[in-house]
Amino acid sequence: ERVKIFRELIKADRLKAGYRPQAGGADAAHGDTFARPVAQVTLRRESVLEDTLTSVLPLGTTARGRILVKFVNAAGQEEAGIDAGGLFKELLSQVTEQGLDPNRGLFQSNATGLIYPSPRAGDTHEGILLLEMIGMMIGKGMYEGILQDINMAPFFAAHVLGTARTIDDIPSLDEDLARSIVQILEYEGDVADLCLDFTCSEEIYGELVTRELVAGGRDVEVTAANKLFYVFSLADYHLNRRIATPMLAFMRGLTKIINQRWLRLFNVTELSLLLSGGESAIDVDDWELHTRYSGGYSSSSATVRNFWRVMRKFTPKQRQDVLKFVTSSPRPPLQGFKHLNPPFVIHKVRCEASMFAYFGATDVRRLPSASTCFNMLKLPNY
């Protein structure tokens, strides 16, 4: 029900601003495919992040409207195709995949692979702008109801929701730090024996840097009387102060698209589901029920029946790969395939095959293709 309320808040905001939904989004209708965009952006495939930064970030709050995407290949030629939603979803997928990659330096991942902004990402002007753009694009995906392959660390999700971070969030940042804090709290001897003060050290660009947790922290010894305050200060530094600049940049971008008050409908776990749909297996029965057919196929066609038989034998990861191949997203809509827009379509591609193919001879050699703009799988008549 809260997801429905969230979507209604977005529809009301879009109506008030006079924008049309992004083609391929949860609220789009067929006519939105050809609606006038607020902007048309042309992006080089080898420089997606940089071109999105210069093309989309300046749009500000107007990016809530429809954005028309065109790609330029490595040869400098504009790729053929109409952006009926698939190209924007592809852009969104590439921005999140590249921007959230820990090797890029803008985000880090914890021991379980959950991401959060890198403390060092805010050290440069370019890093701040990229974080703002990524926040904006993630907000745009949420605004349009497009699922994204994003797995936020719980303390990062708490930042996004605007809820307080506590010591209980430390394990989602650093399990070793969490164990150290527990050891301090449970230490049965005199805490002064640990020779701690109100500082912490971290390596920055190859140098060990010491930070004071409070003013004059180098001269404040940790004792039994103040150890709780020390632990609180240590948690506050790691969960808040250390990532304050990159977090502010990310949220500045996200809130250009999404009102943070709307997100307070959800808790940390629910935000993850809202973003990515969670990790639950794809429901093949629901997928099949809401699939349409064209070009001569029907639900009773032999090739179609074989397709669904194969989908049921596939692993969850293989099903996600097929769905991403056709729709640009490895996950179905949060509320099921009924809400996939445009609907998933299996289109018949007529190919000649020997009549003996039914008895094990060579079958059609052509491989399936897809039109992500229309969520269409072009399936030869094997």
At residue 113 the predicted structure's pLDDT band, cuts being 50, 70 and 90, is very high
Active site residue 373: yes
CA nearest to 163, candidates 270, 273, 303 = 270
Q: Which segments of 240-356 does DSSP mark as H helices, in order? A: 244-254, 260-263, 268-276, 284-289, 302-313, 316-327
Q: Which helix (H) or strand (E) holds 89?
A: helix 86-99
Output DSSP code: residue 343.
P
User: What's the pLDDT score for residue 66?
Assistant: 92
Distance, CA of 247 to CA of 241 (rounded, Å): 10
Choose, from 195, 200, 351, 373, the residue flagged as catalytic.
Answer: 373
Helix, strand, coil % over all residues of the chain, rounded to 5: 50, 15, 35
When mean pLDDT is compared across 33-47, 51-65, 171-185, 302-316, the lowest value belongs to 33-47
pLDDT at 290 over 80: yes
User: What's the pLDDT score for residue 24?
Assistant: 77
- Please write the tens of the pLDDT for every residue from 236-286: 999 999 999 999 999 999 999 999 999 999 999 999 888 887 666 789 999
**Structure token digits, residue 23:** 């083609």
- Please write the tens of the pLDDT for every residue from 4-60: 899 999 999 999 999 999 887 888 876 666 678 889 999 998 999 999 999 999 999
Backbone angles phi, psi at 194, to 5 degrees: -80, -10
Distance, CA of 49 to CA of 152 (rounded, Å): 20
**Structure token digits, residue 348:** 């018949």
